[in-house]
Structure 1
Amino acid sequence: MDYALAGKIALVTGASGGIGGSTARAYAREGATVAVAYRDNVDAAKQLAEELGGFPVHYLLEEPESAFGEVADRCGGVDVLVTSAVKPGAKRGPGTPFESLPADAYAGFLDDNLTGTLRTVQLALPSMRQRGWGRIVLVSSRVVDGGKPGREIYGAAKAGLHGFASSLSWDVGRDGVLVNVVCPGMVEGTAGLPPDAVAGECARTPTGRLSTAEDVAEAVLWLGSGANRNVTGQALTVAGGR
């Protein structure tokens, strides 16, 4: 399959994570120059960028402007944006009722993760519109549809991406920009997953296994490439049929 990515500039946020790293590798494999966005782990970002022939970019959800300044200085702008960065927080513990959460327990999380992602997309769009071509893939979560105890605020932030993408597609589609969402389920190899949770999830999944980070990355790659010619405003779940 021709993904039509040779010579394109792809910015992947959250590239130090399993899905982000696999996605960065997938884009590099198809000929894109990858800006490997990192928050804290500069050494890992430099190592990955060197492996892929790309370059590291310092990226903060709460202040994404500097990352785009770096990309603009090197390449003039981005053709593909993949947002997989998440700033942790706002997880409700067992025995703590939702109504007991103070506003500052979730307002900051929503601002960093949802508002920060929206601002990141705003910064990516000018160069895409100018070039008459662009692809945006927002990494969400199956939590939006399936729910998970204690993850109400996380679910709210990720659900916001779905409404955002479906409406933004009307604004950018005629400029050649397609925007979609990918929703991974539980991913194989995630740190801290207890064996019984993995076994239970596999038993409830039609394919009988968890998705790998590579499975998710391939879905992101297709949606965020020239092989995707007219799919926009959609959310694709990658969870083995769940």
Structure 2
Amino acid sequence: MDLGLDGRTVLVTGASSGIGLATARAFAAEGARVAVTYRSDAAGAQQLAGELGAAADRAMAVPYDLGDPAAVEAAVDVVERRWGGVDVVVANAVRRGSRRAPGLHLEDVPAKEWSALLRDNLEQTLHTVQLVLPGMRARKWGRIALVSSHIARDGAPGQEIYGAAKAALHGFARSLAWDAGPDGVLVNVVSPGLTRTAGVLADLPAPVRERELTRTPTRRLSSPEDVARAIAFLCSAANDNITGAVLDVSGGR
């Protein structure tokens, strides 16, 4: 299937590892130009951009910090100036915050901590979308993928604020679909289940992983590439009328 992504410009936030890295590779494999954004791993982002064709102006590494609105604006500006616009944005960057100590509850979380989590995981994602939308509307074509989490649906101990931010993306996509659809812009949410990223494999004890497998119809955890392929399809010309949807990539969990 031809995804019609050859020559399109794609901005992938949080692209230096995990799902973001796999997504950047998936788009590059389809002939797209890819902006690889990063917060702290400049070397990793530069290496990935080199792999994806930086020497031929097919990829570039761009700083992007959810905690800094000016950095978000600068990232979009760099891509638009160099490549003439952003056709696809994949909002994958995330800040999970620190784990709560045992015995602490939601009411023990300082307001400045939970407000920062909401700001970084929700407000700056919405701001990024705001920045790219005018160009998409002008070109009458655009694709937006918001990367959520199974926690928005299932919940998890100590993840109330993170879950709230991710769940808000679902409502945002449903309403934005109405506003942007007439201009040829489709917006969807991809909600990964527990995914075999390096971070998950390092932090999740083997017995917990085995338990999760027994609760998953396919008997395997999704790989970053599984999620990336779903994102690439939803953000392609092959998808011409799916918008406002939430796609779970969780092995049927």
Specify the alignment match of 1:72 in structure 2.
Answer: 80
2:250 is the counterpart of 1:239: yes
| 1:139/1:181 contact within 8 Å kept | yes
Q: AA paired with 1:8?
A: R
Q: Deviations over 1:72-121 (max 9, x none)?
A: 22112100000110123154333112122221120111011100100000
Change (3 A) 1:6 1:33: same
Q: Give the TM-score normalised by structure 2.
A: 0.93
Q: Percent identity, please.
A: 57
1:106 match: secondary structure: helix
2:65 is the counterpart of 1:57: no
| 1:93/1:150 contact within 8 Å kept | no
For the residues of structure 1 that align with 2:215 and 2:170, how far apart are their CA atoms?
25
**Post-superposition shift, 1:41?**
1.1
Q: Deviations over 1:17-72 (max 9, x none)?
A: 21000000000000100000111111111110111111111111232101011102
1:148 is matched with which residue: 156, 161, 165? 156
2:131 is the counterpart of 1:123: yes
2:233 is matched with which residue: 214, 222, 232? 222
For the residues of structure 2 that align with 1:75 and 1:91, how far apart are their CA atoms?
40
Q: Give the TM-score normalised by structure 1.
A: 0.97
2:218 is the counterpart of 1:207: yes
Farther-moved stretch of structure 1 (183-192 vs 121-130): 183-192
1:95 match: secondary structure: coil
2:203 match: secondary structure: coil
For the residues of structure 1 that align with 2:79 and 2:52, how far apart are their CA atoms?
16
Specify the alignment match of 1:6 in structure 2.
Answer: 6
For the residues of structure 2 that align with 1:49 and 1:101, how far apart are their CA atoms?
38
For the residues of structure 2 that align with 1:197 and 1:223, how far apart are their CA atoms?
31
For the residues of structure 2 that align with 1:162 and 1:207, how far apart are their CA atoms?
25
Residue segments in structure 1 that go unaligned for 5+ positions in a row: none
| 2:96/2:162 contact within 8 Å kept | no
Farther-moved stretch of structure 1 (172-181 vs 191-200): 191-200
For the residues of structure 2 that align with 1:187 and 1:30, how far apart are their CA atoms?
23
2:115 is the counterpart of 1:101: no
Specify the alignment match of 1:20 in structure 2.
Answer: 20
How many residue pairs end up in the alignment? 242
Q: Deviations over 1:149-186 (max 9, x none)?
A: 11111100100100000000111001000000000011
For the residues of structure 2 that align with 1:17 and 1:153, how far apart are their CA atoms?
23
Q: AA paired with 1:4?
A: G
Residue segments in structure 2 that go unaligned for 5+ positions in a row: 54-58
1:137 match: secondary structure: strand
| 1:90/1:151 contact within 8 Å kept | no
Farther-moved stretch of structure 1 (29-38 vs 98-107): 98-107
For the residues of structure 1 that align with 2:96 and 2:236, how far apart are their CA atoms?
29
